[in-house]
Amino acid sequence: MLSNLLTKFAIDPVIHITPLKVLTIGGLDITNSMLYGVICSLIILVLLVTVARRMTVFPKGGITQFVEVGTDFITDTLKSALESEEKAVKYAPYFIAIFFFILFSNWLGLLPIVGEAFTAHGEPLTRPFTADLNGTLAAAIITWLLVQYFAIRESGFLKHMRHYFNGSLKNPLTLLLGIFEMFSDLTRIASLALRLFLNVAIGEIIITVFSALGGVAGPITALPFTILELLVGALQAYIFVMLSIMYLAVAVKHGAHEEHETPEDHLTIDEVVNAEVNNVSN
Amino acid sequence: MFVNFAAEAVNTAVLAKGIMMGFGMIGPAIGIGLIGNAFMNAVGRNPEAAKYLGQILVIIAIIELMALLVFASVFIIK
């Protein structure tokens, strides 16, 4: 009896890996993820502009404080990575924007209205923007291009190219390793994009599968995984920004290191040994 | 003869998916275990650096990517 009831409500999980076309405007195919991406962007734009207008010296609480905490957090991370407050403030706008974009795209994608709820010609009308490889690839490519641009502006084109070729240029191995290094720099695009896409898309699949397994109790069985996805969405936004900040720090800091040599570099071995001996005897 | 029988009677795609998931997850699991081990050792030796080391812990994401690729490959097998 009970098993009959359960099988009656059980539905086959519908899993989409790729986004689906919903409409065509002037020869350009609009997919469901693009549609929801534009909606999310508008929501984020309105939210951030409203928060920026309501910003006061004394925190008000609510969503304003949430955005302030996020902004502060990214600026602090930049400051500790670049070791300079001036540079951190200079590069903060892009990283804060991409952080909130990914965070809110992930979280708005978990709403029950996204997916099979609204359909056009039998295909879902909305899909989380970050659950589409095209979207995350675009975010990764723009981040990579901007990191290259920031690094070139900071240390000059030749010096930026030189940091791939580490060592004497007369050595042929340096050339080989340098080209290899450049290729490994390019793979960062793929790794950034794939990580975000796979985390979000697989989260969606897991929620779908567990709500289908639950049958009548679908909402209850899917709840723990939805809460887990809230955590994963925030974590992936943090990881995306953290890794791009690390790439920027590696590219920018290299030029600064060669200019400012610490006085300790000029000490002879005897002086260092004497200093060590004095330390130990004290 | 047995091979023909197996190919007809057994759904090899499901078997392949199971085997791939099982073996593919071994590597990332060991890798994340090693990172956790190194993190705890480092914090035990130098508790003041815990905050800095926690930031470096983000490299778990690089290994997690391998596990996610294994999971995603399941949908390629038909």
pLDDT of residue A9: 56
pLDDT of residue A261: 47
pLDDT in tens, A200-217: 988 888 888 888 887 788
CB atoms within 10 A of CB A267: 13
What domain count does chain A have? 1
Residue A264 DSSP label: G
> What is the extent of the structural domain holding A98?
14-257
- Please list every residue in chain B whose beta carbon sits closer than 8 Å to the beta carbon of residue A243: 58, 61
pLDDT of residue A272: 60
Note down pLDDT in tens along chain B; length 78 residues.
Answer: 666 766 677 788 888 889 999 999 999 999 999 999 999 999 999 999 888 888 788 788 888 888 888 888 887 777
Residue A262 in domain: no
Residue A178 in domain: yes
Residue A142 in domain: yes
3-state secondary structure of A25: strand
3-class SS string, B31-42: HHHHHHHHHHHH
Nearest CA in chain B to A238: B58
Determine if residue A121 is left, alpha or beta; phi over 0 gives left, psi from -120 to 50 gives alpha, anything else beta: left
Written as six digits, the tokens of A24 are 């065509």
The domain over range B2-73 is classified in CATH as 3.30.2420: no
Look up tokens 């009308």; give the residue: A125
Residues of chain A scoring pLDDT < 50: 259-261
pLDDT of residue A276: 64
Is A97 within 8 Å of A47 (Cβ atoms)?
no
Residue A279 in domain: no
Query: Strands A115-120 and A123-126: what pairing?
Result: antiparallel
Give the one of A198, A199, A242 whose C-beta lies nearest to B58's C-beta.
Answer: A242
Return the closest-CA partner of residue B28 out of B72, B66, B61, B77.
B66
What's the rounded Cα separation, in Å, for the pair A88 and A233? 25
pLDDT of residue A45: 92
Residue A269 in domain: no
Residue A106 in domain: yes
Give the one of A17, A77, A194 whose C-beta lies nearest to B65's C-beta.
Answer: A194
**Cβ separation of A242 and B72 shorter than 8 Å?**
no
Residue A271 in domain: no
pLDDT of residue A136: 93
